[in-house]
Amino acid sequence: MLIKAAQKTYEHNIRTTMENFELLAPAGNFDKLKTAIYFGADAVYVGGTAFSLRAFSENFNDEEMKQAVGYVHAAGKKIYVAVNILARNRDFERIGEYLKFLESIQVDAVILSDPGIVELCARECKNLTIHLSTQSSTLNKYSAKFWVKQGVKRIVLARELSLAEVKEIADYCGGEIEIFIHGAMCISYSGRCLLSNYLSGRDGNRGTCVQCCRWEYEIREKNKGGDFLPVMEDSRGTYIFNSKDLNLIDYLDEVKKTGAVSLKIEGRMKSEYYLATVVNAYRRAIDAYEKFGADYKQDRTFDEEVNKTAHRAFTTAYTLGNNDQTVNYSDSQSRGDRTFAAFVLGSEQDEKGEYVLIEMRNRFKIGDELEILSPGENFNKVIKVCEMTDDLTGAAIDDAKLVQQKIRLYTPLKLTRGDILRK
C-alpha cells in the first residue's frame, strides 16, 4: 500500500541525480520523510532507534525502516541511514547485526563516523555503500583520500571548510563529496561537542545532546569581588555560544564549481513545516540554477522562502573564506515570517461542492488569508478563508482553534495531499 501510494503521489518528482546536484533532506520520522519526498528531495537521511546521533528524534524501528526503504525507492529516490555514533566496546556486540539488517533491506548507504565501524562494515557488508559522517571531521584532501582507500564512497566534509578547500579535496580524493548547505551550525568542531556530556551527562557524540550551546550564560570574575561580567548582553541575556544558521541558497553556482555532488540540509529534529519550506526552496532554486545558471539569483523567491520558517540569523559560515560573523551576539531567538496553519489531506466534494479537507496546526479565522506551500503550480497562491465546517459534525465554524481538528475549507483551488497552508 505504501509503495503504491508513493508511486502515485510522487511520480512527478522522479528525477535522476549525480549529473546535477543531489538535494539531501533530513527525515526524523515517517511523516517527515513523506514531506521531504513530496517537496522535491532527491534523497533522505534517517536514523534507527540505535547508533544514531539524534536520539531525541523519533527515528525508525526495524519495521518502519523496511517500509521507509520501500516508500523512498518507489518514488525513485534514495535513503541513507545514519549509524554515526562514536562507538564504545559494548556497541560492537550489536552493531554488526544492525549493519547486516540494513544491507538486507537495501538501504542506499550508511553514514558512519567511527573507524572501527567503517572497517567492520567494509569487511562484513560488501553490498552496503559507506558514506563518512561529518563527525569524522575531514578537513584535508589526504584524510579524504585515506577514507576512500578504506572503502568509503562519499565523504561528508567538515563545515569549517571554504568552498575553495572543498574543490581541492574533491579534485584529489577520488570519492564523492557531500556538503551542508542549510541549517543549524554547531559551535564545536564539526559537531563533535564535549560540553553537553560535561554539563549534563548527556553525550552529544552518542545522540543525546541537550544543546547547551543555546543556553544563556554569564561570566563571573572570581578574583575581583565575584561580580558578573556581561558578554554582549541585551534584554534577553547573553549568547556567547550561539551560532547563526547556515544558508547557501544564493551560492549554488559557487558550490557547483567545487565538484560536490550532494547538498545536505540539516535538521532531523526540525518540524514538518520547516522541512517542507526549506526543501521546497532549495528544490526550486536548484532547478532554476540548472536552467538559468547564475541568473537564478535574480529571482528572490528562494531567499524569501527560507525566511518563512523559524531560523536564527543566517550566515555563509566559512564557505567563502574566514568569517567572523557566525555567532549571534545579540539575540538567540528563532523567528520566521510565516506560521504553519494547516496540513492538506486532500480535495473532496459534498452537497455544497468541492472542498479542501485540512488538519489544523495553528489558529486562523474567517477572513484570514492563507498562503499555499506546494511543490506544484499553486505555490505561493493566496486563498481567503470565507467558509469552513467541522468535518466530523458538519457544523459551520468561524474560528479554527483546535489543534488537529479536521476542517472542510471551501475554496476554488484544488489542493493536493501534502500541501501546506501558512499564515
pTM for the complete prediction? 0.84
Give 351-393 pLDDT, tens digit per residue: 888 899 999 999 999 999 999 999 999 999 999 999 999 999 9
Q: pLDDT: is 305 or 210 the higher one?
A: 305
Give CA–CA dist 169/143, Å, rounded.
Answer: 9
CB-hemisphere CA count at 13 Å for 27? 32
Give CA–CA dist 373/276, Å, rounded.
Answer: 8
Q: Which three cell numbers stand for residue 267?
A: 535538521
For CATH 3.20.20.110, list the domain ranges present in the chain: 2-191+243-315
Rounded to an integer, the average pLDDT of 203-221 is 67
- Reply yes or no on whether the pLDDT at 14 is more than 80: no
Given the C-alpha cell 497562491, which residue does it identify?
381
- Reply yes or no on whether the pLDDT at 3 is more than 60: no
- Position 334 scores a pLDDT of 64
Give 93-124 pLDDT, tens digit per residue: 999 999 999 999 999 999 999 999 999 999 99
- Position 12 scores a pLDDT of 38
- Position 7 scores a pLDDT of 43
Give 140-186 pLDDT, tens digit per residue: 999 999 999 999 999 999 988 999 999 999 999 999 999 999 998 77
- Reply yes or no on whether the pLDDT at 210 is more than 90: no
Q: pLDDT: is 22 or 13 the higher one?
A: 22
For CATH 2.40.30.10, list the domain ranges present in the chain: 340-422
Q: Cβ(169)–Cβ(177) under 8 Å?
A: yes
What pairing do the DSSP bridges indicate for beta strands 43-47 and 78-83?
parallel
195: DSSP letter:
H
Sign of the four-CA dihedral 5, 9, 13, 15: positive
- Position 237 scores a pLDDT of 45
Sign of the four-CA dihedral 227, 228, 231, 234: negative
Give 3-state DSSP helix, strand, coil % of the chain, rounded to 5: 30, 25, 45
Topology (CATH) of 2-191+243-315: TIM Barrel (3.20.20)
Given the C-alpha cell 539575540, which residue does it identify?
331
The three-class DSSP label of residue 220 is: strand
pLDDT-based confidence at 243, cuts 50/70/90?
A: confident
Give 42-75 pLDDT, tens digit per residue: 999 999 988 876 555 568 999 999 999 999 999 9
CATH code for the structural domain at 340-422: 2.40.30.10
pLDDT-based confidence at 337, cuts 50/70/90?
A: confident
